[in-house]
Chain A
């Protein structure tokens, strides 16, 4: 007597998925928790069983910043990592670029919720790693990625229109950029309270910057050094706003190293 059940595809198993390792940490005696950033499933936490044994085949493969393909299964919050292979190609992050890579990974671990697919972000991440191995200034690569990360997470704020009024940003004007609200004109009238936004938000801890900076950022143009400086302040403020109280380890590391 056979009891027929429709062929159930084990949806919990994922084969040969493009991934990057964001971080690993010890788990029990011989295993590792491996935080993956996957193209199709977003951030996925897995356990690599026995990966801390000296002759583990996975051990050397679980390095950040390398394009890998992974197979995992399971339904719990911690999946089981079965296989991880190199996809070929190599991002050789050296020195300061390596720290920038750690910074990107820490941002992802802190801001990206688990199991929330972000295919476009995966492409951006890959491009950022690639760019970090190249000639482009690292600060530009980081700013671009920070903007895309916040956009993907749904925290996007307009860089081309004023908050409230929706007026086009004027390159020649000064603005105050308020987290979770956007740019408001920091003109004398607005200081008098007769501005279009009318919410009084401009008095909150907005960050002061030029309209040109915002428009440059929207165009991904960082040739103006003032744009580069102001965009750094702006992105730091916005990211800190979303991170909450706990500071980033990678930032602290750079501060500590400078003190030596």
Chain B
């Protein structure tokens, strides 16, 4: 008995999902075909629609259904501030703080030298163009405080400073309500090294 090729194809296709190996792909495929054909149909349609409609905003590089995303197009944001983040979820988090009123640029990744992720993969050329639109005055680097995020911030910062822009980096230190006794040692060490003068 031979497995039908359509099934093989589906199993193979499911393996593109992160963390899905051949076994789980097979399980998923059987589940969709046997127990949840409606769900499968909606999944297929959802994927098809998303692929058709969702592109990158020409300004901020975030996912968008329109050429310019609603945030960039709103006209209510401060065009002099540009905040650089790694991922769309980082943008959402910053929006939740309701403390930032400027524009964004989403890299969709970070420089990761050991994985071969370089400036091309994270759209640095587009960011440079975006930041030099004549309106942006300050670029705020809100990449992660991981070694990769730090390397990214360094290079983006250097490239932008060389082009005459003011560059800042989001601060780090003790968390809100952080008690020294309970905070992790690494955070505390950084907080000590990067202490601020009392104002």
Measuring CB to CB, which residues of chain A are less than 8 angstroms from any residue of chain B? 23, 25-26, 28-30, 60-61, 63-66, 86, 88, 90, 92-96, 98-99, 101-103, 105-106, 109, 249-250, 252-253, 256-257, 260
Residue of B nearest to A105 (CB): B114
Measuring CB to CB, which residues of chain B are less than 8 angstroms from any residue of chain A? 18-19, 21, 111, 113-116, 118-120, 124-125, 128, 146-147, 150-151, 154-155, 158-159, 184-186, 189-190, 193
Known: A23-B114, A86-B186. A260 touches B124 (CB 8 A): yes
B114–A106 CB distance below 8 A:
yes
A102–B189 CB distance below 8 A:
no
Q: Could you say which residues of chain A place their CB within 8 Å of the CB of B125? A: 260
In the bound complex, CA of A15 to CA of B178 (Å): 30
B147–A256 CB distance below 8 A:
no
In the bound complex, CA of A233 to CA of B150 (Å): 29
Known A63-B146, A90-B189, A96-B154; further 12 A-B contacts with Cβ < 8 A: A25-B115, A29-B18, A63-B147, A64-B147, A90-B190, A95-B158, A102-B151, A249-B114, A256-B118, A260-B119, A260-B125, A260-B159
Residue of B nearest to A27 (CB): B19
B111–A253 CB distance below 8 A:
yes
B118–A252 CB distance below 8 A:
yes
A30 → chain B closest CB, angstroms: 8
B113–A102 CB distance below 8 A:
yes
B154–A249 CB distance below 8 A:
no
**20 A-B residue pairings within 8 Å (CB atoms):** A23-B114, A26-B18, A26-B19, A61-B186, A64-B147, A86-B184, A86-B186, A88-B189, A94-B154, A95-B158, A98-B150, A102-B147, A105-B114, A250-B114, A253-B119, A256-B120, A257-B119, A257-B155, A260-B119, A260-B125
A98–B186 CB distance below 8 A:
no
Q: Could you say which residues of chain A place their CB within 8 Å of the CB of B159? A: 257, 260
Q: Could you say which residues of chain A place their CB within 8 Å of the CB of B119? A: 253, 256-257, 260
Q: Could you say which residues of chain B place their CB within 8 Å of the CB of A252? A: 116, 118
B128–A250 CB distance below 8 A:
no
In the bound complex, CA of A98 to CA of B158 (Å): 14
In the bound complex, CA of A90 to CA of B186 (Å): 8
A59 → chain B closest CB, angstroms: 10
In the bound complex, CA of A85 to CA of B111 (Å): 26
A85 → chain B closest CB, angstroms: 8
In the bound complex, CA of A94 to CA of B111 (Å): 15
A178 → chain B closest CB, angstroms: 30
B113–A106 CB distance below 8 A:
yes
B113–A250 CB distance below 8 A:
yes
Residue of A nearest to B151 (CB): A98
The 5 closest A-B pairs by CB, nearest first: A29-B19, A102-B113, A95-B154, A249-B116, A250-B113
In the bound complex, CA of A133 to CA of B154 (Å): 15
Which among A86, A109, A253 has the greatest number of chain B C-beta atoms within 10 A?
A253
B158–A253 CB distance below 8 A:
no
In the bound complex, CA of A16 to CA of B151 (Å): 29
B154–A66 CB distance below 8 A:
no
Q: Could you say which residues of chain A place their CB within 8 Å of the CB of B150? A: 94, 98
Q: Could you say which residues of chain B place their CB within 8 Å of the CB of A66? A: 186
B186 → chain A closest CB, angstroms: 6
B151–A99 CB distance below 8 A:
yes
A92 → chain B closest CB, angstroms: 6
B190 → chain A closest CB, angstroms: 8
Known: A28-B19, A98-B151. A253 touches B118 (CB 8 A): yes
Partner of A99, one of B113, B146, B185: B113
